[in-house]
Amino acid sequence: MKINEITKKDGTVVYRTAVYLGVDSLTGKKVKTYITAKTKKALKTLSDLKIAEFEKNGKTVLREKVEFGNFEALAMAWLDDYLLTVKTNSQAMMRSYFKLYIIPALGDYKVEKITAPLLQSIVNNWAKKANTASLNKGRRPTGSCRDYKLLLNTIKRILDYGFQLGVISSNPARMVIAPRLKTRAQKKIKNLDDKQLKKFLTYLDNLEQTDKNIFSITLYKLLLDTGLRIGEALALNWSDIDYDSNIIHVNKTVDRAGKVQDSPKSESGIRDISVSNRTMLMLKQWQNRQRVLYRKQGLSTEIVFASSVGGYRARTNIAKELNAHYKNAGIDLTGFHAFRHTHASLLLNAGADYKEIQHRLGHAKIGMTIDTYSHLAPDKAKETASIYETALEKLS
């Protein structure tokens, strides 16, 4: 450290030096400052203090420290920003994680008192509960979710936010290792097999032709014919139905509360799906019936599966109606996703390739399609074995 001796006008001597603090974590530029003291010893002390302050401030000179009473205050500030970037379902999920896991575990701690060993202990406890939980009909008891890695990642993001605000000088969560989740038997995909599908379709065809039943029949058959997610189907407008080209344009979704989102689950969810003449005829018949029904009430709507007042429907009530239909038909299933799985299974066993199925289902990656549905194609597995045998015979 080069020290310059400076004599002031009044004759007193002071010492001055340039101190290199390091590389600014926000700008990436080298930072140095100048220090003046009455003695060389004081100059060295001040120099060390400046370096320590720079380190404590997150290796930057730009940050102003923001005060938070505890971790909960910091976490809620981060959450407010996060909720602006995600859709309703993701908002509900994150709020649930905060309420059940993150705030109970860390809320009362002073942010600067949170350490890596503390966080490791919390994550280990979450992992233990996740790995030892007894499932009830495939469901985990509250407090034993398998997403503890996501919980840890959320804590990292919250503390990163604190670091950026100058609350802490480093992020202890980045030193925490999430234990491995114990492998369980893969959850069986629920779909209608050929016998169940025939039975269910026969049941639908024999229902009384009321407006309510025609609504349900049209919705169920469309889901079976397209593999659409229920939220995507409920978000369809009549302008999304291209009768000339036999194409359905999928470009939005409806969340659980019945609120429309401008985009589906992912970018790949925005897609065009080709359908049969039979499906288009079914939709046209429903459109005509719907128009007459709403006209009687002095209403109009552009929504394919509109509510009684012409708006978007929430899933809850129609899910209960579907489960009642399953029960009446003698089908041991619940939920709309069985239609999506059935659609994929039928396509696979009919010889459709995974890339086309990926597109129809709106999966972001083909690996998701293969991992989820390959076991639903026993006919394809038998065909593959036969192809291998034929190839082997040609060698002999």
Say yes or no: 274 and 250 in one domain.
yes
Q: Look at residue 266 and tell me whether its pLDDT is greater than 70.
A: no
CB–CB of 177/120 below 8 Å? Answer: yes
What's the structural domain count of the chain? Answer: 3
62 is a domain residue:
no
Q: Average of pLDDT values for 28-36?
A: 84
What is the pLDDT confidence band of residue 90, given thresholds at 50, 70 and 90? confident
Say yes or no: 7 and 120 in one domain.
no
pLDDT tens for 187-199 read 667 889 889 999 9
Confidence at residue 190, expressed as pLDDT on a 0 to 100 scale: 84
Domain enclosing residue 16, as ranges: 3-56
Q: Average of pLDDT values for 282-309?
A: 94
pLDDT tens for 337-346 read 999 999 988 8
Say yes or no: 329 and 370 in one domain.
yes
Say yes or no: 160 and 202 in one domain.
no
Confidence at residue 301, expressed as pLDDT on a 0 to 100 scale: 93
CATH number of 278's domain: 1.10.443.10
- Give CB contacts under 8 A, 24+ apart, made by 18-21: 19/47, 19/50, 19/51, 21/50, 21/51, 21/54, 21/59, 21/61
Q: Look at residue 64 and tell me whether its pLDDT is greater than 70.
A: no
Confidence at residue 269, expressed as pLDDT on a 0 to 100 scale: 83
Confidence at residue 394, expressed as pLDDT on a 0 to 100 scale: 66
Question: Picking from 95-109, 251-265, 319-333, which range would have the lowest pLDDT averaged per residue?
Answer: 251-265
65 is a domain residue:
no
Say yes or no: 225 and 342 in one domain.
yes
Q: Look at residue 388 and tell me whether its pLDDT is greater than 60.
A: no
What is the pLDDT confidence band of residue 143, given thresholds at 50, 70 and 90? confident
Confidence at residue 391, expressed as pLDDT on a 0 to 100 scale: 58
The candidate with the shortest Cα–Cα distance to 350, out of 369, 376, 370, is 376
Question: Picking from 24-38, 129-143, 379-393, which range would have the lowest pLDDT averaged per residue?
Answer: 379-393
Say yes or no: 95 and 8 in one domain.
no
